[in-house]
Each structure stands twice: as structure tokens, then as C-alpha cells.
Amino acid sequence: MNKITMKVPFVDFNSQHQPIKTQLYQAIHTVLEQGDFILGQALADFESAFAAASGTAYGVGVASGTDAIALGLQACNIGAGDEVILPANTFIATLIGVLRTGAKPVLVDCDPKTALIDLEAAARAITSQTKAIIPVHLYGQMVSPQQLLDFAKTYKLLIFEDAAQAHLAEREGYRAGSVGIAAAFSFYPSKNLGAFGDGGMLLTRDLDVAQKMVRLRNYGASQKYFHTESGTNSRLDTLQAAVLLEKLPYLPQWNSDRLSIAQQYDSELAPLASAGIIPMQNHSGTGHVYHLYVIKVDDACLLERQQIQDKLNADGIQTGIHYPIPCHLQPAFTYLGYQPGDFPQAEKLAKQILSLPMYPGLSSSQIKEVVAAIASITLTSSNTENSSSTPVSSIVG
């Protein structure tokens, strides 16, 4: 079988890493020289810097974004007997994080235009046991902070943000991580701010939460060999923190580049709306940081999403699906008792969404190539169905 050469990869790190390669090497070298590989100086510096950049007080680095959710909820005293509301169309780590605390996850549907949590659905799911809500700032767009704060005040709930895809995202004067009592971030390599391996962080404005999180990530120890809680080993490596600290000053520009790319995609894709290609809506203006650029292949399109993805792949254009199976339909979690049809918007989106290439350094010509390929695929299909349709050349020429 011939290997397909990717003309437009889904992610390419070269444009980010090459210009600062010397600085990255130096940051790693400094840690090697100091030898403080666990809970070292670069970690403390990065925790402070990332918290400040996000508009909150404290940062606690952990081994992964999943641990940031699970341990972070525990640090907020979420546990057995509590119910936590979260959207059905999030990455499975959000659900796993809740389950690891012993709390009961309560899934709700989403807004089909943005894929963000539907707060009206969340209101209907509240019981006397509901203690917290996890708004997932999906694809790089925040859930409305003002609506969240009003919601939490009305129902007396904690807001725990899942900001794994929303580094320095903004909306209504708030940055991701500064709205609720705490927020979880991931530094998986493909994130807007990515490490050279796994990593995560809890941000919080609450000193008690921060101090408990420091203990939980380090075997529950308040001091060496003195364990005041049942913790675990989940510490962001000093080497990874040094890399992230070096990259952090460039993040605003990288996010700005992502926004410009998204704006070009919006413009180039607009003529394809009649063919059923619909970008997810941006309700955050310039505060959307576009970790992902996601389109819907809706009912007006004569082709299935998988057909389009396969044809793009064959043309050397790599895409993704975030996410193809909602949490409640994952085989591992059938015991939660949810059924197909429980969350129709999330289930429909899972069949329609397609993530296009998105990364700083993606060129204008590459964006045009992606859109031209989608136009050729979808409009050729439309023309086959209806010979009077708009000629493909008028769109892609």
C-alpha cells in the first residue's frame, strides 16, 4: 500500500519550535545542570507565571490534565454523595475525573451551534445533591462567564472549569481559569501551550484549594514523610515546566495566529454553507483561541462526514473528529444508565463534526487548498445530483 503524503497535516509543531529552538535547549540544559527534576525551580516559576497570565492567584502543576480535573475536584471537596454536572460531548477525561472522586457525574446536552454546554439543560438536571458544574471551554471558546456566574449563584453551585483547550481564552472580561473556584488545564503537546510530553495544572483563586492540591499531588504529604490525606504521585516534571515557561511568552501571538487562520477559514468556507458545510459559531470574538477549528457536515450535504474525511485524506489533507462518540455512549460507561437518544444534540454533532488543520504557521495557501478540496468534494456531489448547481470552478477558482 502506498503511503499518503500529507500536503496539509492536522498539526505541525515546526513553526512554533524552530524559531525558539535555542531557548528551549537552554531551558532543558539549565534543569540538567541544576538537577532539580522533581518539584524544581522551573516548576514554581511556571506555576506563578501561568496563573498570573490567566488572571488568577495560584497554579499547581500535575502530571496530566486528567489529574488536574480529578485531584482538583477532590481539592474542592467534591466526593461521594455529590453530583457534578458536565456536558456529554467532552473528551472522556472530564467524565473520568469526576468518577475518580467518587462523585456522580450528571451529563447534559449541548448547544448545537457552539458545542458548548446547554445551561438550560443543566438547570433541569439539578437535584438536592448537585454540588458543582463543569463548563468545558471546548475547542478554545469559553462558556459565557456571566451566564455561568448567574447560574452558580442561582443554584448555589461550585464552578470548576475544564479549560484543557482554552489557554488564555477570553470572554466578557474573564480569562479561562479565572471564572470558577478552580480550573483544569492540559499541556498535551498539541494544546495551544503544549509540553514535550504529558502535563497539566490546576488554577485556583482559593489558597486552601491550592494548598490541598499541593498535598494531593505529592502523596498527600504536608511535609516529607508526613501524610495528611490520601494523595497520589502526580507532579509536573521540572523539565516539562521549563519548556512550558519558555514557550509561555509566545502564546498570545500563537493564539492570535490561530484566530487569523480561523477568520480566513470562515471567509473561505462561507460559500459552502448551501452545500452543508457549516463552521461552529464563535460567540467570543477575538477571545476565541481556536485550539481546534471545527465544521459541521449538516443535513444539506449530500455526502456523509466519513466520505468527506476519507476523500480529504486521500488528497493529503489530514483532519480529526473531536469527538466521534459522546461520553454516555462509550462502552466503558454504560453502567451509568444513559441510553442512545438521551442527548440528541451531542449525538447529532458526533456524526457531523470535522476538525480541519489548525496550528500557528498554517499558511494562507494551505487554508485555500483545504477549502478548495472540500468545495470540490461537496459541490461535485451536488452537481452530480443537480446539474443546475453552481459550477465548482466559481467557488474554488
Tens of pLDDT along 371-387? 999 999 998 765 555 54
Q: Residue 351 corresponds to which cell in the numbers above?
A: 456524526
- How many CA atoms are closer than 13 Å to the CA of 37, on its beta-carbon side? 2
- 113 as an active site residue: the answer is no
Q: Which of 271, 279, 318 is nearest to 296 (CA)?
A: 279
Q: Pick the catalytic residue: 7, 131, 156, 191?
A: 191
Low-confidence stretches of the chain (pLDDT < 50) are 1, 387-397
- For residue 356, the SS3 value is strand
| 109 neighbors 116 (Cβ within 8 angstroms) | no
Pairing state between β 104-108 and 200-204: unpaired
Which H or E run includes 85? strand 83-87
* Cα gap 381→386, rounded to integer Å: 9
Instruction: Give the pLDDT score at 1.
Output: 42
Give me the architecture of the 14-249 domain, per CATH: 3-Layer(aba) Sandwich (3.40)
Q: Which of 150, 153, 138 is nearest to 87 (CA)?
A: 138
Break the chain into its structural domains and give their ranges.
14-249, 251-396
Q: Which of 107, 129, 126, 103 is nearest to 117 (CA)?
A: 107
Instruction: Give the pLDDT score at 379.
Output: 82
Which residue reads 479549560 in cell numbers?
163
Pairing state between β 182-186 and 104-108: unpaired
Q: What is the pTM of this model?
A: 0.95
Distances (CA, A) of 103 to 77, 255, 372, 396: 10, 35, 48, 52
Instruction: Give the pLDDT score at 382.
Output: 57
Q: CA angle, corner 164, sides to 162 and 165, nearest 5? A: 115
Instruction: Give the pLDDT score at 386.
Output: 55
Instruction: Give the pLDDT score at 3.
Output: 59
Instruction: Give the pLDDT score at 380.
Output: 74
Q: What is the DSSP string of 197-249?
A: S--EEEEES-HHHHHHHHHHTBTTEEETTEE-S---B----HHHHHHHHHHGG
Same topology between domain 14-249 and domain 251-396: no
Tens of pLDDT along 264-304? 999 999 999 999 999 999 999 999 999 999 999 999 999 99
The number of angstroms, rounded, from the C-alpha of 279 to the middle of its chain's C-alpha atoms is 17
Distances (CA, A) of 115 to 90, 282, 296: 9, 10, 11
Give me the architecture of the 251-396 domain, per CATH: Alpha-Beta Complex (3.90)
